[in-house]
Amino acid sequence: MKVCYEDNHIIIVYKPRNLLSQKDYTNDSSLVEEVKEYLRNKYNKPGNVYLGLLHRLDRVVGGIMLLAKTSKAAERLSKDIQDHKINKTYLAVVHDNNLKGSDTFIDYILKKDTNSIIDKNGKYSKLDYQVLERYQNYALVKISLETGRHHQIRLQFSSRNHPIYGDYRYGNKEKGGIALMCYSLEFIHPVTKEYMKFSYIDKEDISAIFNNFKFIQKEQ
């Protein structure tokens, strides 16, 4: 876990791959626990500390996350998420297979056990993407989510024959870990009302396939 930004109201951290966003049935350690421990140690606070989890990343996906340090900040930011005022940008390496340079995917996604499927009875799901680079039979894409369904990015690309590199759950058998990350966040600060944008790539924690793209090399 790496702290990218912190003030009295919010904290932005990088969640590494293979760490839960919050506790689940496995009882494995989670980002929420790690951030709470960080806050307890930094401010010498015994017992529990408040931390509002505003959004989640799949366990196998790394990336930056925004958390609230006060209930007021959590309430305001949660409303901004509902109103689509917080922009999250993802980067992924997908199988090219003549992928269009940019497009919008609209589906209806239904969560089924630990997976998701496209189903007419599911929830409306929309994303936009743009191809940044191509390498051999792969494409580096920048993705903006309008909705945040369970496994949405992974399912929508896989269902169109463009599975994410290393996404074993949705049909790709390549090794090295899933090539998907939450790359940047844009939002209005819940208290100061300042426009804020953060982006971060942890070069020690990304699937090796990313390193073939100039965009990633420049960002590092």
* 132-148 pLDDT per residue, tens: 999 999 999 999 998 88
CB burial string 122-151: b at 16+ within 10 A, e below: beebebebebeeeeeebbbbbbebeeebbb
Per residue in 106-129, pLDDT (tens digit) is 999 999 888 899 999 999 999 999
- At 50, is the pLDDT very low, low, confident or very high (cuts 50, 70, 90)? very high
Q: What is the CATH number of the domain that holds 86?
A: 3.30.2350.10
Residue 220 reports pLDDT greater than 80: no
Number of folded domains in the chain? 1
Distance CA 50, CA 44 (A): 14
pLDDT at 30: 94
Domain of residue 65: give its range.
2-219
Residue 131's pLDDT band, with cuts at 50, 70 and 90, is very high
Separation in Å, CA 42 to CA 32, 89, 104, 117, 124: 15, 30, 43, 43, 42
Counting residues of the chain whose pLDDT is more than 70, the rounded percentage is 100
Q: Three-state SS for 76?
A: helix
Q: Residue 36 and residue 50: Cα distance in Å, rounded?
A: 8
Average pLDDT over residues 1-29: 93
DSSP state of 50: -
